[in-house]
Structure 1
Amino acid sequence: MKQSTKNYRDINATPEKLYNAFTDPSALEIWQAPGDMTAKIHHFDLRVGGGYEMSLFYPDKATIHAGKTADKEDRYTARFIELIPNRKIVEAVQFNTTDPDFAGEMMIEITFEPVEMGTRVTFLFTGIPAGIKPADNEAGTISSLEKLAKYVETN
């Protein structure tokens, strides 16, 4: 069964600054990995039909569960479906895994909406593979949004 989640955060930054944090590979490596994880972009092609490949690495102390690409690594490919500067990004994401519960294409729609104190950044995930618990997806998204806010508000 496919699942979905939706999370948002109001961030004290312009839509342009936030959009740039999503379209700069070095910025993505800093803020997109949730919690104590780290990230590496393997390639990046900013255009509709292009995309990027990214690895998320778990800290040494982490307990690893099923569905991982390799020991302490989640690798995925994101394909850009829609890019509307400063307003919206839509990505189709596939994890590199042999576990069918974590396979399949998941969609992520990210919107940037001006609000009184900055910009509301909203993540809508649809088609989340059955092996990913919605609560875990939400927790990871909330953590990444916190890191994104810190990144844009201090840079």
Structure 2
Amino acid sequence: MSTTSTHETEIVADPRVPLVRITREFDAPKEKVFRAHTDPELVVQWQGPRGTEARIDHYDCRTGGSYRYVHVHEGQEYGFHGSFHEVRPAELIVQTFTFEGFPDGVALERLELEDLPGGRSRLTATSLVDSFEGRDAFLASGMDSGVREGYERLDALLAG
């Protein structure tokens, strides 16, 4: 399943509700993984697939804050925005997520972190959308490869 710094990213579509669950382990404590998700200077270094440049317009990761960022790939720009509903340091981020190319599709996302033995951690993220069709379109968009590649990039950042 893993080498010294790369772990499998599990992405599962729930058959009962329009939800995607992502589970990933990291060879770093949850505080470090949390910081990589909340510090905009770190987020731009790992988020998204390889070959994609991330640019943050604003990123106020606190309860009541909001964000907007753009991924640039082969000259095309893709915007994303949302609101942070609950942020608990090194533990939980609850946020909305909207891809601006499909503005009616708002997902409610929950990211939880837990400690594992040996200074490691596990991330569990869920993304709930408004319909099974929306969920399936989300999965068909190639987001799974972007998530996997992004977490591989995060592995390298955490190791550095």
TM range (shorter): 0.7 to 0.9
CA drift at 1:149: 1.5
Q: Hey, what does 1:20 align to over in structure 2?
A: 35
TM-score (norm 2): 0.77
Q: Hey, what does 1:6 align to over in structure 2?
A: 21
Residues 132-147 of structure 1: pairs in structure 2 closer than 5 A: 132-134=138-140, 136-147=142-153
Identity %: 24
TM-score (norm 1): 0.79
Q: 1:55 aligns with which of 70, 75, 81?
A: 70
CA drift at 1:36: 1.7
Structure 1: gaps spanning 5 or more residues: 61-71
Q: 2:124 aligns with which of 117, 122, 125?
A: 122
1: CA distance, partners of 2:28 / 2:107:
28
3-state SS in 1 of match to 2:64: coil
1: CA distance, partners of 2:57 / 2:70:
8
Conserved? CA contact 1:5–1:134, under 8 Å = no
Change (3 A) 1:57 1:3: farther
Conserved? CA contact 1:25–1:44, under 8 Å = yes
Structure 2: gaps spanning 5 or more residues: 1-16
CA drift at 1:135: 7.2
CA drift at 1:23: 1.0
Runs of 4+ with >6 A deviation: none
Q: Hey, what does 2:10 align to over in structure 1?
A: none
2: CA distance, partners of 1:44 / 1:88:
16
2: CA distance, partners of 1:78 / 1:94:
6
CA drift at 1:11: 0.7
CA drift at 1:5: 1.7
Change (3 A) 1:135 1:76: closer
CA drift at 1:3: 3.5
Residues 87-126 of structure 1: pairs in structure 2 closer than 5 A: 87-97=91-101, 99=102, 103-117=104-118, 118-126=120-128
Deviations 1:59-80 (A, max 9, x none): 35xxxxxxxxxxx111011210
Conserved? CA contact 2:48–2:147, under 8 Å = no
Conserved? CA contact 2:46–2:153, under 8 Å = yes
3-state SS in 1 of match to 2:142: helix
3-state SS in 2 of match to 1:133: helix
2: CA distance, partners of 1:46 / 1:133:
26
Equivalenced residue count is 139
Deviations 1:38-90 (A, max 9, x none): 10000122321212100011135xxxxxxxxxxx1110112101111101111
